[in-house]
């Protein structure tokens, strides 16, 4: 979807600023659905809510494939299942990862989150390769219909899960006491996501298309390569976290990746830009499983879904600002601006996170790492 989305919206007659708006709506709604999903899961069960999210995914795919009016395309974003970004947002995140946390011993949690992210990364790579086939409007429409069908399959699989995925401890989605330790952390995550919103994958793909004329035949393999290096980095990240700690792993891998981000708009040609992006993404997402593991370790078990939903919502709302501004920048030929703003904001986040949390270990860590 990250490959096809911008090209499909352009084919439907939307201008860059309008495309940015649709992507922003998709990110915003995905993030805002997290907390209601956690609350509904506490009352009706995780399987039913996951199935509902799958149905929304189906609506999004079918809408993008068949809609012709601008308001109908905006509706696809309002489902919250637009798939504009490969990062952790939406109801799937909160419910799946809270279940994962309860399914493994605390000492193995870092590795479990790494394997979870690795699986998603490999699937994203396969999707990127499939998107390379969208070389015509008819092919793109077919892939969007397949995306919708995948939502229906997802809904069916959720209903087939055993009752062991349900929360073993009843309680509120997130209490005031559970939210208190998350406040400062969520604020920092919002800063990071504000920067990340300028360079979500749908924006990057569209930027490469506008800046260098890249089509889906190039963008698909490029984003597949990015997904593959991301997937490999997840496994490395969790092993590194076992040695130096979760927060240090987040910062020490994220900071150099953002320096690389500043270099992307200086690329003289498409191969250089793609190479820099692949190098950047080989380390930029190593904070994903470590961040998730850290969040789940500082709240009660019954509130883990709510904690992940809260931090995901804060991240998503902040991230939704970026595509609108990035689309406007592309429309005015300020091609490098999204990358420069993203890099500077995210570097500031890295420094603040290290200063505030480097000496606050998770429950799986015996103390500050040296």
- Alpha carbon 221 to its chain's center: 19
Q: What is the pLDDT of residues 87-135, one digit of tens each?
A: 556 678 778 877 787 778 877 877 888 888 888 888 888 888 888 888 7
User: Distance between CA 331 and CA 346 in Å, rounded?
Assistant: 24
CA dist., res. 205 & res. 85, Å (int): 11
Amino acid 370: pLDDT: 38
DSSP string, 347-369: HHHHHHHHHHHTT---TTSSS--
Determine which of 123-137, 152-166, 263-277 has the lowest per-residue pLDDT on average.
123-137
Mean pLDDT calculated for residue range 232-250: 89
Maximum alpha-carbon separation in the chain: 58
Give the pLDDT mean for 143-166: 91
Cβ density class 37-69: b for 16+ within 10 Å, e for less:
bbbbbbeebbbebbbbbbbbbbbbbbbbbebee
- Please check the confidence at residue 16 and state whether its pLDDT lies above 60: yes
**Domain boundaries along the sequence of the chain:** 4-357
Q: What is the pLDDT of residue 332?
A: 65
Length of the chain: 370
Q: Is the pLDDT at 162 greater than 80, yes or no?
A: yes
* Options 3.30.230.10, 1.20.1250.20, 3.40.50.300, 1.10.3720.10; CATH of 4-357: 1.20.1250.20
Percent of the residues in the chain that have a pLDDT greater than 90, as a whole number: 27
Q: What mean pLDDT comes out for the span 236-241?
A: 88
Average pLDDT rounded to a whole number, residues 13-25: 83
Structure tokens at 20: 């940015």
Average pLDDT, the chain: 84
Nearest-angstrom CA–CA distance, 277 and 284 = 10
**Average pLDDT score over residue span 258-275:** 94
By the 8 A CB rule, do 276 and 212 touch? no
- Residue 312's H or E segment, with its range, is helix 304-319
Q: Is the pLDDT of residue 259 over 70?
A: yes
Q: Give 51-89 pLDDT, tens digit per residue.
A: 999 999 999 999 989 988 888 888 887 887 877 665 556
Supply the pLDDT for residue 6: 82
Confidence at residue 84, expressed as pLDDT on a 0 to 100 scale: 64
pLDDT digits (tens, 9 = 90+) for 308-366: 778 878 887 888 787 887 877 777 666 788 899 999 999 999 999 999 988 887 766 65
Q: What is the pLDDT, as a whole number, of residue 270? A: 94
Residues in contact with 285: Cβ distance below 8 Å, sequence separation at least 6, in sequence order: 87, 117, 230, 233, 234
What average pLDDT score do residues 12-22 get? 84
CA distance 154 to 53: 8
């Amino acid at each position: 979807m990250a490959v096809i989305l911008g090209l499909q919206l352009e084919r439907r007659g939307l201008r860059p600023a309008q495309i940015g708006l649709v992507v922003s709506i998709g990110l915003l709604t995905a993030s805002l659905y997290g907390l209601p999903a956690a609350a509904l899961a506490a009352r009706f069960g995780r399987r039913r809510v996951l199935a509902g999210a799958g149905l929304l995914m189906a609506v999004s795919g079918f809408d993008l494939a068949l809609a012709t009016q601008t308001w109908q395309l905006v509706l696809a974003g309002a489902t919250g299942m637009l798939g504009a970004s490969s990062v952790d947002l939406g109801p799937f995140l909160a419910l799946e990862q809270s279940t994962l946390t309860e399914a493994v011993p605390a000492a193995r949690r870092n590795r479990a989150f790494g394997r979870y992210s690795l699986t998603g990364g490999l699937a994203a790579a396969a999707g990127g390769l499939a998107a390379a086939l969208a070389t015509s409007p008819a092919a793109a429409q077919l892939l969007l219909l397949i995306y919708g069908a995948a939502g229906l399959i997802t809904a069916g699989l959720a209903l087939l899960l055993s009752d062991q995925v349900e929360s073993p401890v009843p309680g509120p989605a997130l209490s005031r006491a559970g939210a208190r330790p998350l406040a400062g952390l969520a604020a920092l995550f919002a800063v990071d996501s504000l920067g990340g919103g300028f360079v979500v994958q749908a924006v990057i793909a569209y930027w490469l298309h506008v800046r260098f004329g890249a089509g889906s035949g190039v963008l698909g393999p490029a984003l597949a390569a990015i997904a593959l290096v991301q997937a490999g980095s997840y496994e490395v990240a969790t092993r590194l976290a076992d040695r130096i700690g979760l927060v240090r792993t987040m910062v020490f891998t994220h900071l150099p990746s953002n320096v690389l981000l500043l270099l992307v708009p200086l690329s003289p040609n498409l191969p250089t830009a793609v190479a820099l992006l692949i190098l950047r993404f080989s380390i930029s997402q190593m904070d994903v499983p470590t961040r998730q593991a850290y969040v789940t370790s500082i709240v009660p078990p019954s509130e883990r879904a709510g904690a992940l939903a809260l931090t995901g919502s804060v991240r998503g709302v902040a991230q939704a600002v970026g595509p609108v501004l990035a689309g406007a920048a592309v429309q005015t030929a300020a091609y490098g601006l999204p990358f420069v703003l993203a890099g500077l904001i995210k570097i500031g986040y890295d420094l603040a996170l290290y200063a505030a949390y480097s000496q606050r270990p998770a429950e799986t860590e015996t103390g500050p790492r040296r």
